[in-house]
Structures are given as C-alpha cells and as structure tokens.
C-alpha cells in the first residue's frame, strides 16, 4: 500500500526525545499502540491527509487539557473531533448520535460526498459529551479523515471505547502546521508535556492544509474556513447558497487573524511590491530575507536571497505550503516575502493561510520581525 511504503521510507524508528517518541505506522502493532495511547489518556501525533494532528480521547477532559497545555492554546478555542469511517448512513447516524443532538438534513449529502475527506462539519453537540474539546460551545466540529493510518487508529480506538479523537494541528498554537512526523517531533522535543506524546509516522500529508469547515446548524451552509473543498463544491452538493462567516458563527479552529505563522515575519504582497522591496536591500541585509514565489518572479530578484519555488497549481502549492514556510524559517532569516496567490476559489485555502501567517500579532508593529535580527 502507498502509505505503508511511505512509512517505511520516512520513519525515525524508536526515537526517545524527553516525553516524545516517534514510531513508524507501518505495522499493525504500531496501530494498536497508537489506539492504546488514546485510551490511556496520552497524546498522539496522528497523520491525516491534511496535516498531522495532536490527538487525544475527545471525551477525556484531562487528556484534552493536555492538548491545550502542550500547544499553549486557549481552552475556549475548540478542537475538531476526528471519527472512524462508517459503512452506511445508518451506521453514521448511530455513531454521530453519540456526539450530536441531531444531524441536520443538509449534512447528509456532504457526508456522502466528502467523508472520509478534508471536510469538517459543525454540528449541534450533545451537552454530556466532549465539552472540553468543544471549548464549552454548544456545537462540535466533526471530521472523518481519509488517511488510512488515521482511519486504522480511529477504528481500533473505537473498539476500545474512544468515540473520537480531538486533534488540532500538532504544533505550538499559532505556528506553522506540521505535514511530517519530523515537524511534530521538532515542535515538542525538549518541552515539558502533561502527558506522554507518541508520534505515529505515516509519511507526508497529501493535502497539506487544514480541512474546510462548514457550519450546517442553520438554514444554509456557512463556510467558516476555506480548504481543499471549495464553496462551489459545497453548493453543488447541498443545492443551497453557501454563506460567509456570520455575526453569530461559532468559533472554530484556525479562525484567529494571526495564525500559521513562522518565527520570521511574513510579508504577503503582489509581484511589483515584492520586486521593489527586494531591490532596496543592501548586500548585507539580503541575508536576513527569504522569498517564496513562482519561478518567473524569482528570476528577477537579486542574487543572494534565500528562495523557495511556489507551485503554479493550487493543490500542489497547498501540499508544499507549510513545509516551504518551515524550511525558509529554519534558515534563520528575519523576513519571508511571499508572492500573493492568484484569485479564485481553488486558491482560497492557500490564500487564507498566507493572510493569517502574515497578519501581525496584536502587540506587534506591522513592520517588525517576530524575533530579533
């Protein structure tokens, strides 16, 4: 199987880093160990098709608290609950009944079309379950991942009584999401954690950005976070107009103005602005700047800049985005300049992540790097 080959090629076997351990997902024993980690209240670095998640039993308040503590994430910022795939609507209805008061009618065509896959649905939560994971809100985000490793772990955990795994991206809060197991280990190695962390190496993530989030609790679907699945696809499946974020929309993952940010200051700008900015750099200051842009633009820039090519295809760009930002940030530059992606629905997920990555923190002046030069 494709994922099994990737696990064997990419895994760092048996690495113990403080309370962090990374193992290959390429065996049934590893899947069983990962499921047991969820049952025991430990944290799990879980590969999905979008990004790696920092997972724990969604109905275990102490384990969920360990997620918030590890990430440095506010406890009222809700987590998405990942669930195992089901064979038919009847089975889905039974499983979702454990999490939700009801499944709105418009949710069913979306479940049929896009689950398993990179779509999170905001559903009315049963008051007795997953309160900590939902940040105390009356709704809960639910997703069924398509990654075979995630599915195998969730199925195994479900047989042991875990209804779902709360799993935000496995990085410190507000920083660049991880798309490899090594990214996850790098985020948490040497850091004090409230629970052991087992990282399950399932290879690189295929999609590369987080799931599309849609609220289906009202009369029309509301797009709360763009992603791989577009508003047009949601409208085509439901037959309903897709609304943008509403005044009373629930808070969801990845909704802060500043998010997905590396240590370096990210500047998102058009081609002309980027070229003009690079032309003013001295031979000395050029060393503290990097550029992520299309090949045509990179050819026009001064020699000596650290660069990374941006793909012309939105799906390829999404797959590469977070890894590219991490790679440029690892060079120690203070500024990362990014060419603004084209206009269009297929680019909305990438554009959203880059806008949030480039937004200044509340206490940070717009032109200042996020760490000292």
Residue 130 vs residues 140, 162, 195: alpha-carbon distances, Å: 8, 11, 19
Asked if 166 and 38 touch (Cβ cutoff 8 Å), the reply is no
Grouping H, G, I as helix, E, B as strand and the rest as coil, residue 307 is: strand
* pLDDT-derived band at 10, boundaries 50, 70, 90: very low
What's the first-to-final CA gap in the chain, in angstroms? 46
Q: What is the pLDDT of residue 252?
A: 66
In the block, residue with structure tokens 């997620």? 67
What is the per-residue pLDDT across 138-181, written as a single tens digit (0 to 9) for each? Answer: 999 999 999 999 999 999 999 999 999 999 999 999 899 999 99
- Give the mean model confidence (pLDDT) for residues 50-78: 95
Q: What is the pLDDT of residue 369?
A: 44
What is the per-residue pLDDT across 11-40, written as a single tens digit (0 to 9) for each? Answer: 443 433 357 999 999 999 999 999 999 999
Structure tokens at 325: 């930002």
* pLDDT-derived band at 136, boundaries 50, 70, 90: confident
In the block, residue with structure tokens 């499921």? 35
Domains and CATH numbers, the chain: 2-238 (3.90.870.10), 265-358 (3.40.50.11030)
Beta bridge partners of 124: 139
Average pLDDT, the chain: 90
Count of C-beta atoms within a 10 Å radius of residue 147: 26
Asked if 319 and 207 touch (Cβ cutoff 8 Å), the reply is yes
What is the per-residue pLDDT across 265-316, written as a single tens digit (0 to 9) for each? Answer: 999 999 999 999 999 999 889 999 999 999 999 999 988 899 999 999 999 9
Asked if 307 and 278 touch (Cβ cutoff 8 Å), the reply is no
Whole-angstrom Cα distance, residue 192 to residue 323?
Answer: 25
What is the per-residue pLDDT across 206-237, written as a single tens digit (0 to 9) for each? Answer: 999 999 999 999 999 999 999 999 999 999 99
Q: Contacts by 344-347 with C-beta closer than 8 Å and gap 24+? A: 344/314, 345/230, 345/231, 345/232, 346/230, 346/314, 346/315, 347/314, 347/317
Asked if 226 and 211 touch (Cβ cutoff 8 Å), the reply is no
Grouping H, G, I as helix, E, B as strand and the rest as coil, residue 207 is: coil
What is the model's pTM? 0.90
Q: What is the pLDDT of residue 298?
A: 96
């Amino acid at each position: 199987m494709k994922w099994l080959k990737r696990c064997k090629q990419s895994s760092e076997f048996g690495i113990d880093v403080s309370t962090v351990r990374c193992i290959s997902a390429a065996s049934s024993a590893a899947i069983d160990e990962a499921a047991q980690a969820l049952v025991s209240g430990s944290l799990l670095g879980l590969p999905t098709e979008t990004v790696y998640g920092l997972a724990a039993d969604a109905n275990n308040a102490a384990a969920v608290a360990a997620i918030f503590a590890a990430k440095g994430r506010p406890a009222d910022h809700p987590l998405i609950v990942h669930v195992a795939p089901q064979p038919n609507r009847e089975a889905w209805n039974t499983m979702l009944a454990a999490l939700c008061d009801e499944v709105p009618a418009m949710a069913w065509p979306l479940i049929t079309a896009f689950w398993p896959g990179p779509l999170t649905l905001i559903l009315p939560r049963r008051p007795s379950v997953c309160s900590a994971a939902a940040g105390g809100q009356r709704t809960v985000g639910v997703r069924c991942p398509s990654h075979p490793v995630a599915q195998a772990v969730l199925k195994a955990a479900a047989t042991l009584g875990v209804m779902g795994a709360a799993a935000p991206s496995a990085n410190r809060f507000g920083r660049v999401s991880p798309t490899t197991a090594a990214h996850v280990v790098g985020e948490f190695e040497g850091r004090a954690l409230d629970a052991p962390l087992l990282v399950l190496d399932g290879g690189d993530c295929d999609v590369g950005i987080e799931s599309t989030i849609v609220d289906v609790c009202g009369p029309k679907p509301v797009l709360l976070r763009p992603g791989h699945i577009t508003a047009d696809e949601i409208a085509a499946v439901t037959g309903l107009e897709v609304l943008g974020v509403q005044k009373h929309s629930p808070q969801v993952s990845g909704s802060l103005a500043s998010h997905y940010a590396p240590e370096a200051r990210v500047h998102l700008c058009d081609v002309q602005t980027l070229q003009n900015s690079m032309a003013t750099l001295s031979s000395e200051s050029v060393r503290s700047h990097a550029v992520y842009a299309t090949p045509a633009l990179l050819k026009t820039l001064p020699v000596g800049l650290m660069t990374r090519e941006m793909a012309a295809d939105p799906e390829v760009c999404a797959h590469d985005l977070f890894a590219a930002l991490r790679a440029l940030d690892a060079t120690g530059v203070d500024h990362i300049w990014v060419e603004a992606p084209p206009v269009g629905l297929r680019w909305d997920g990438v554009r959203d992540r880059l806008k949030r990555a480039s937004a200044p923190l509340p206490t940070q002046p717009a032109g200042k790097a996020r760490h000292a030069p």
